[in-house]
Amino acid sequence: MEKTVNNKAWFMVLPVLVLVAFSAVIPLMTVVNYSVQDTFGNNQFFWAGTEWFVDLLASERFTDALVRNLIFSFSILAIQIPLGIFIALCMPRKGWGVPVCLVLMALPLLVPWNVVGTIWQVFGRADIGLLGYVLNNIGIEYNYTQDPVAAWATVIIMDVWHWTSLVVLLCYAGLVSIPEAYYQAARIDGASKWAIFRFIQLPKMHRVLLIAVLLRFMDSFMIYTEPFVVTGGGPGNSTTFLSIDLVKMALGQFDLGPAAAMSLVYFLIILVFSWVFYTVMTNVGAEKPETKGE
């Protein structure tokens, strides 16, 4: 759509600007402020320069949490994306099955995050949870509060349970927008199922898939509530991801300087990914108009 140049449009954006500036810019300035100062309490602050940043980047605690978070993000992507595509391909395209599938699959997305944690905390317990009880009874040692492997497995399965539907829904939205003519043409050519997937469905889905990958990456990169409720970051530090570590530092120990420095580094990483995301999203928007009718 052709847009007219009109700088008065700024007035319409103003309320949003003021509101988000209040809830984003002021807090961020506080963080920047703390990140370069040291305090011994009593509201006395001293200039600390880049000390916290140097400490942070050299500290094992931060790099460990970062590595754990990256491993977590990539493992859930490796499971959720293929699984999501596969389920979306098998979903019915018409009839009563469609709304039923959509509603039931979307349900986990609407569960409050700490309830997701509670659900899996209960579900995995060996004494009263279905999963823990069954696993232990068929001879698999499973205790997510003691065993790091079990804790990781629980956190990953929980995230797969919670968010795979997002991938499914996005892929499904991409799939139903493929005109029937493409499939007819494929049938004429005698294309195999794999060929249809590889040359028609996958290319048509690639934009929604990009959105799905980026959204899932960003959200898993800042995951806090669910693993916090289930494992509390433990056993030991084995499931302490970046956000959990940060909250521990900022609200638990009130190490303002280090916590602020960590916040900024964390935010910078997010900013880079946001930029990638933005570029992808706006390109999607730019090539969208022809199919907007759906």
Q: Which of residues 203-242 bind another protein (CB under 8 A)?
A: 203-204, 208, 211-212, 215, 218, 221-222, 224-225, 229, 242
The residue from 52, 53, 144, 172 that contacts another protein (CB under 8 A) is 172
Instruction: For strands 37-39 and 45-47, give the pairing.
Output: antiparallel
Q: Which residues pair with 37 in a beta bridge?
A: 47
Check residue 56 for interaction with another protein (CB under 8 A). Answer: no
Tell me which residue of 83, 92, 234, 211 sits closest to 159, measured CA to CA.
83
What x-and-dash track marks residues 95-134 binding another protein by CB under 8 A? Answer: --x-x-xxxxxxxxxxxxxxx--xxxxxx---xxxxx-x-
The residue from 52, 170, 240, 257 that contacts another protein (CB under 8 A) is 170
50 vs 184, beta carbon nearer another protein: 184
217 vs 235, beta carbon nearer another protein: 217
Cα 147 to Cα 150: distance, rounded to the nearest angstrom: 5
**CB atoms closer than 10 angstroms to residue 76:** 24
- Binding piece for another protein, criterion CB under 8 A, among 35-43, 49-57, 58-66, 183-191: 183-191
Check residue 3 for interaction with another protein (CB under 8 A). Answer: yes
- Binding piece for another protein, criterion CB under 8 A, among 20-28, 51-59, 72-80, 139-147: 20-28
In Å, the largest CA–CA distance within the chain is: 79
Q: Which two tokens stand for residue 220?
A: 């898993």
Check residue 48 for interaction with another protein (CB under 8 A). Answer: no
Beta carbons within 8 Å of 151's beta carbon, 6+ residues apart: 144, 145, 230, 231, 234, 235, 238, 239
- End-to-end alpha carbon distance in the chain: 17
Asked if 89 and 200 touch (Cβ cutoff 8 Å), the reply is: no
The residue from 46, 50, 74, 92 that contacts another protein (CB under 8 A) is 92
